[in-house]
Structure 1
Amino acid sequence: MTLGNIQHMVIFNLHAGKDTQEAEQFLTSSAEELAAIPGVEEFRVLRQVSVKTDFDYGFSMVFANQAAYDAYNIHPVHTQYVAERWMKEVSRFQEIDFAAFE
């Protein structure tokens, strides 16, 4: 078994609620900041449409390998974003990371 790229996903709710102007601003500015970090590929902002979960939004991105994912996690833009935006504006979340099964 060989593990390929890493699909990083986080689903979340915001203190600002769903479909608010504040939520839209958070999603837009987050995409601009996070997608620009080296190693991030295929960054997507997602909106929940299922009634089977109570999470409102998601971010999804791909990393070529574990080294790229590790570099993202310690990148100064990411760590500052987590401290100054994520921890203050996100009310709850779940993070999921999958490696492609090849």
Structure 2
Amino acid sequence: MVIFDLKHPQGSAEAKRFIADGRRILASIPTVRNFGAFSQVSAKNDYTYGFSMDFASQADYDAYNAHPSHEQFVRERWETEVTRFLEIDFQLPAGAEGGAAE
């Protein structure tokens, strides 16, 4: 998961385009499962948006990070439009069913 703010006003065409492009580009990477794009609603944190995705294994997560589409999105969009973020990576405890998750 990653929660973040954009330099664009909330609800603007630019913000909507960033979220839609993130969904389209990142969800198309073969190792990504259950991609979600969200607007923050909790009063307990002040970030505006979030992306979440699951991975079956650490190797799948590593493949996602190194995938050219991810690297290009980070370089061309994330680094130029995101003003701050917090990445949250979870992994199930050893012996638990399921896979790694971001």
**Structure 1 segments of 4+ aligned residues over 2 angstroms from their partners:** none
Distance 1:33 1:12 in 2: 17
- Identity over aligned pairs, percent: 52
Q: CA deviation at 1:70?
A: 0.3
Distance 2:90 2:9 in 1: 28
* SS at 2:42 equivalent: coil
Structure 2: gaps spanning 5 or more residues? 97-102
* SS at 2:72 equivalent: helix
Question: Residue 91 of structure 1 aligns to which amino acid in structure 2?
Answer: T
| Structure whose residues are more often strand by fraction | 1
Instruction: Provide the alpha-carbon RMSD of the alignment.
Output: 0.7
Question: Residue 19 of structure 2 aligns to which amino acid in structure 1?
Answer: L
Structure 1: gaps spanning 5 or more residues? 1-8
Aligned residues: 94
Question: Residue 70 of structure 1 aligns to which amino acid in structure 2?
Answer: D
The alignment's TM-score, normalised by the length of structure 2, stands at: 0.89
* 2:76 is equivalent to residue 84 of structure 1: yes
* SS at 2:88 equivalent: strand
